[in-house]
Amino acid sequence: MDNNRQGAKASYVALVFFIGLWLILPSAVRRFNREAFAEFQAPALHLVGKGRDLARYWELKSRSPEELVAASRDLARINAALELKLHSLDDARKENIRLREMLRYPQSTEFVTVVARVSIRETSSWWQRIVIRKGRSDGIRPGCPVVFGDRVIGRVSTVHLTTSEVDLVTSPGFRCTAFLEGDDQYHVVHVSGRAGLSLSAPRAVVSIIPLEYNPPAGQIAKVMTTGLGGVFPSGLTLGTLEAGVQSTAEKHMQTGALTPAKELNFIQEVSVLIPKYPTAGEILLTPAGKPEEFR
Amino acid sequence: MSLSWAWLFLLLATFPWLLGVDLLSDAMAASGVCLFVSGAAIIAPCRRLRRWQAVLFSACVGFLFESLRPIPDGSLALLLVFIAIYLTSHRDEIRDMPKMFGAAVVVNALGCSAWFIAAGLAHTADVPLLSLHFLGQWLLHLLLATILAVLLLVPLTLVQNFAMDRVGVPQPDEAV
């Protein structure tokens, strides 16, 4: 028994020594440790996601042929309408390129879209995030915007080999600039996630709204990305501004709550927008002589 | 399998339970609560594994929880290691089932508090540590961690004991 207690004392001393070592270790070691444990879990997360897809497949397979015929007919109609739209957009794109060339206007950021299925959702008071089944091997990089259609879902925070973690719009780490619908002056406002209350829907906050701004009468004001900073393309919907915008304590700005554009807790699939060329932030953070990382 | 790898074998047997609880959190994502059972998962191994094995097992369980969440590195894992050292040197405190229940509740609550406070420290600008909001959230997470420890301890212990029997880990009375 004495040997056991003595061994325990030695273990406590070793633990204290290890904690000290852990605190002074370079962050790369801690990052490697985190990465190793994340990769350990990745196959299980893939399995969970694929299991869900299979369940969905069998659910769809049990639908009646009439339902499927009706769905495919609707899709064909939508396709036809979208094809027409594509033609008109193609003309607009060509004209846009010509005008940009004439004005020597800088090229806007181009993105490659990678569609990814959601593996698991992680929410707490301090974070709202999802894990998706695409990672470094698919070209995803930290900071890439994540969208669903034209609605912003969040931003990639951490990338592993085959999975990535995405901070949702409502997560406290999320920051973005935006325009408000109905603001003719195009004032830039700030959207940030907030630590949420459990058992209630997560919210983000829209701040630095000018005092003279009035939401359009009879409709909910949309909050849209500005495209400034080069992370998010402009014109994507972040959500809607809730009624009850309040003045700040200093009475020179207003703040309001943002309802996300998509029901974030039930989303199954997202698109990750990967910039074709490195963004300004990435260029600054990339060590010299390593530009091939972006190819 | 060599007895020295028993902790790894046990970790593989425990991992589906940890993943199951993560999936339960996923199903409750709209409520914004994170379920936690990693603390209760180290109780049965601490009865039978050797100290260094229990320490490795506890560290891995802690790091697994931390790896996919924005929690400061090591805040949970190192606490679980400390608890593992304590439990393996006071095995009489987890000798029978009622004592194991008590230990599971306390360890799970301590672990839950560790990650909750460590993660919350990053948001003190938004939510002050001594605010009603913070305390309310903390109590809610503690309550859920306690309930989950009580509900899952028996099945978790059964699976872990089965795994340890298969690997040939000595019974609690023989453990050093």
Q: What is the pLDDT of residues B99-145, one digit of tens each?
A: 999 999 999 999 999 999 999 887 777 777 777 888 888 999 999 99
Q: How confident is the model at residue A294 (pLDDT cuts 50, 70, 90)?
A: very low
Q: Let me know if residue B12 belongs to a domain.
A: yes
Q: How many domains does chain A have?
A: 3
Examine the domain organization and report whether A22 and A164 are in the same domain.
no
Examine the domain organization and report whether A185 and A154 are in the same domain.
yes
pLDDT in tens, B56-73: 999 999 999 999 899 999
Q: Let me know if residue A160 belongs to a domain.
A: yes
CB atoms within 10 A of CB A90: 10
User: Are residues A122 and B88, on separate chains, in Cβ contact within 8 Å?
Assistant: no
Q: How confident is the model at residue B11 (pLDDT cuts 50, 70, 90)?
A: very high
B154: closest CA of chain A, how far (Å): 24
Asked if the model's pLDDT at residue A99 lies above 70, the reply is: yes
Q: Let me know if residue A25 belongs to a domain.
A: yes
Examine the domain organization and report whether A147 and A201 are in the same domain.
yes
Q: Let me know if residue B175 belongs to a domain.
A: no
Q: Let me know if residue A289 belongs to a domain.
A: no
Q: Let me know if residue A11 belongs to a domain.
A: yes
Q: How confident is the model at residue A172 (pLDDT cuts 50, 70, 90)?
A: confident
> Measured between CB atoms, which of A15, A38, A124 is closest to B81?
A15
Q: How confident is the model at residue A41 (pLDDT cuts 50, 70, 90)?
A: very high
| Per-range mean pLDDT, top range of A154-158, A245-249, B90-94 | A154-158
Q: Does A266 touch chain B (CB under 8 A)?
A: yes
- What range defines the domain where residue A218 resides? 111-276
Provide the CATH number for the domain around residue A200. Answer: 2.40.10.340
Examine the domain organization and report whether A93 and A118 are in the same domain.
no
Chain A: residue whose CA lies nearest to B73: A30
Q: Average the pLDDT over A31-38 and give the result.
A: 93
Examine the domain organization and report whether A217 and A91 are in the same domain.
no
Asked if the model's pLDDT at residue A282 lies above 80, the reply is: no
- What range defines the domain where residue B134 resides? 3-167
Q: Does B92 touch chain A (CB under 8 A)?
A: no
Q: Does B50 touch chain A (CB under 8 A)?
A: no
Q: How confident is the model at residue A212 (pLDDT cuts 50, 70, 90)?
A: confident
Examine the domain organization and report whether A80 and A162 are in the same domain.
no
Q: What is the ipTM of this complex?
A: 0.90
Contacts of B67 in chain A (CB under 8 A): 34-35, 37-38, 40-41
Contacts of A165 in chain B (CB under 8 A): 68
> Measured between CB atoms, which of A37, A195, A265 is closest to B63?
A37
A108 Cα distance to chain centroid: 20
Asked if the model's pLDDT at residue A292 lies above 60, the reply is: no
Q: Average the pLDDT over A239-254 and give the result.
A: 82
Residue B105 to residue B93: CA distance in whole angstroms: 13
> Measured between CB atoms, which of B29, B33, B68 is closest to A165?
B68
Residue B25 to residue B46: CA distance in whole angstroms: 26
Contact A241, A258 (CB under 8 A): yes
| Per-residue pLDDT at B86 | 94
> Measured between CB atoms, which of A34, A124, A194 is closest to B67?
A34
Chain B: residue whose CA lies nearest to A130: B26
Q: Average the pLDDT over A224-230 and give the result.
A: 83
pTM confidence score: 0.85
| Per-range mean pLDDT, top range of A103-112, A261-270, B19-28 | B19-28
Examine the domain organization and report whether A202 and A248 are in the same domain.
yes
Q: Let me know if residue B134 belongs to a domain.
A: yes
Asked if the model's pLDDT at residue B1 lies above 60, the reply is: no
| Per-residue pLDDT at B39 | 94
Asked if the model's pLDDT at residue A28 lies above 80, the reply is: yes
| Per-residue pLDDT at B175 | 54
Q: Average the pLDDT over A96-123 and give the result.
A: 85
Examine the domain organization and report whether A8 and A133 are in the same domain.
no
Average pLDDT of every residue of chain B: 90
| Per-residue pLDDT at B79 | 96
pLDDT in tens, A52-71: 999 989 988 888 889 889 99
Contacts of B16 in chain A (CB under 8 A): 44
Q: Does B20 touch chain A (CB under 8 A)?
A: no
User: Are residues B70 and A265, on separate chains, in Cβ contact within 8 Å?
Assistant: no
- E-strand spans in A109-253? 111-123, 128-132, 145-148, 151-159, 164-168, 175-180, 189-193, 204-209, 222-225, 237-241, 246-247
Examine the domain organization and report whether A262 and A152 are in the same domain.
yes
Asked if the model's pLDDT at residue A14 lies above 90, the reply is: yes
| Per-residue pLDDT at A290 | 52
Q: Let me know if residue A201 belongs to a domain.
A: yes
Asked if the model's pLDDT at residue B52 lies above 70, the reply is: yes
Asked if the model's pLDDT at residue B6 lies above 80, the reply is: yes
Q: How confident is the model at residue A295 (pLDDT cuts 50, 70, 90)?
A: very low
Asked if the model's pLDDT at residue A42 lies above 60, the reply is: yes
Q: Average the pLDDT over A152-180 and give the result.
A: 91
| Per-residue pLDDT at A55 | 92
Q: Let me know if residue A285 belongs to a domain.
A: no
Examine the domain organization and report whether A31 and A103 are in the same domain.
no
Q: Does A199 touch chain B (CB under 8 A)?
A: yes
A254: closest CA of chain B, how far (Å): 17
Q: Average the pLDDT over A285-293 and give the result.
A: 55
Which distant-in-sequence residues (6+ apart) come within 8 Å of A112 by Cβ?
A139, A273, A274, A276
Average pLDDT of every residue of chain A: 86
Residue A223 to residue A103: CA distance in whole angstroms: 29
Asked if the model's pLDDT at residue A153 lies above 70, the reply is: yes
Contact B119, B71 (CB under 8 A): yes
Buried residues in B120-154 as b, exposed as e (16+ CB within 10 A): bebbeebbeeeeeebeebbebbbebbbebbeebbe
Q: Let me know if residue B172 belongs to a domain.
A: no
Q: Does A113 touch chain B (CB under 8 A)?
A: no
According to DSSP H, which parts of chain B are helical?
Answer: 6-27, 43-48, 51-67, 75-89, 97-120, 132-167
Asked if the model's pLDDT at residue A113 lies above 60, the reply is: yes
Q: Does B123 touch chain A (CB under 8 A)?
A: yes
Q: Average the pLDDT over B149-155 and give the result.
A: 95
Examine the domain organization and report whether A140 and A246 are in the same domain.
yes
Q: Let me know if residue A284 belongs to a domain.
A: no
Q: How confident is the model at residue B2 (pLDDT cuts 50, 70, 90)?
A: low
User: Are residues B73 and A121, on separate chains, in Cβ contact within 8 Å?
Assistant: no
Residues 27-46 of B with CB under 8 A from A: 29-34
Q: Does A237 touch chain B (CB under 8 A)?
A: no
Asked if the model's pLDDT at residue A203 lies above 70, the reply is: yes
Examine the domain organization and report whether A115 and A95 are in the same domain.
no
Q: How many domains does chain B have?
A: 1
Asked if the model's pLDDT at residue A280 lies above 70, the reply is: no
